[in-house]
Chain A
Amino acid sequence: MNTQASAFKIFSILFGVIYTLSFYLNWNVFRYYPKISQFSLQALPAKTAGPPINWYAWIAIAAVASAVIAFLVPRTWAERLPPGLSWQIPALLVAAVLIYEKHWFF
């Protein structure tokens, strides 16, 4: 397996993990307030700014962190990871999301 393959595999494994952690722990490096069409690094008052969208920040965190780690991880370490992890970990995350969000329905 070449370096590119290892990087893609690590990116795909990490992206879902970091995204899930970001929304579970509510890591918001920024927020978008659609009512006033404004990005903000700080939480703004809901009365004037309306509800925020955190999803953009969670995706941005996951993309940047996964890309950096995928680039930094030594190729020899990455090659030890079985290819199946590329779908097994995201599949577990999908299951975790479904379980976590069940409170909307019961």
Chain B
Amino acid sequence: MITVLLLIHALLAVALLGAITHQAFAVARRIPASATSSFVDRFRGVGAAHYANAIVALFVLTTVLGALLYPQYRIDVRPTLEDLQLRSANGVFEIKEHLAAIGLGLLPAYWYYWRQPLDAQSAATRRYLVWLLAFVVWFNFLVGHVLNNIKGLLPA
């Protein structure tokens, strides 16, 4: 059961990562319609506002699943990391849980500023909210991925 939850958690995180990265690139600068020739331009050229609801839902679902998996981490994984004296691994997990919480708290403001029709005066606020959330999502994704595979990453 835990393995299934962990896989769903990871798959939701991948979807969230894709959505927030598209949005983060899309708000970076305005792309003229004619300039969508390169891969990067097409990647940036998405309708950023259309991702907002999905990002909120994915963030909440991923965090809830993470919260459900946390007891198993506390009982099994953390003591193992402590036995192996992997303080850094425990440290990045501590940061991950704090960033997840701060990200969760950001969502109401994020959702409000991305509501249609978009307020042109709030463009900067929207941009920085997305970038902050993208930082949280990327950090937590990478930490989760490394911790999940840490036994394989360690030298035998």
Point out the residue from A20, A35, A94 that lies within 8 Å of B75, measured CB to CB. Answer: A35
Number of contacting residues on B, CB 8 A?
Answer: 37
CB of A97 within 8 A of CB of B105, answer no
CA distance A32 to B101 in the complex (A): 17
Q: How many A-B residue pairs have CB under 8 A?
A: 110
CB of A55 within 8 A of CB of B97, answer yes
CA distance A20 to B97 in the complex (A): 11
- Contacts known (A34-B74, A50-B75, A87-B128); A9 close to B109, Cβ less than 8 A: yes
Q: B99 to chain A: which residues have CB within 8 Å?
A: 94, 97
CB of B109 within 8 A of CB of A86, answer yes
- Contacts known (A83-B125, A90-B132); A12 close to B72, Cβ less than 8 A: no
Closest chain-B Cβ to A20's Cβ sits at a distance in Å of 8
CB of B105 within 8 A of CB of A66, answer yes
Q: Is B152 an interface residue (CB 8 A)?
A: no
Query: Which of the four size classes fits the interface of chain A?
Result: 35 or more
Closest chain-B Cβ to A72's Cβ sits at a distance in Å of 16
Not counting A20-B98, A34-B71, A94-B136, a sample of 17 additional A-B residue pairs whose C-beta atoms are within 8 angstroms of each other reads: A8-B111, A12-B106, A12-B109, A13-B109, A15-B105, A37-B71, A53-B71, A55-B97, A55-B101, A86-B106, A86-B129, A87-B132, A91-B132, A98-B95, A101-B95, A104-B90, A105-B88
Footprint of B on A, CB under 8 Å?
4-5, 8-9, 11-16, 19-20, 23, 32, 34-35, 37, 50-51, 53, 55-56, 58-59, 62, 66, 83-84, 86-88, 90-91, 93-94, 97-98, 101, 103-105
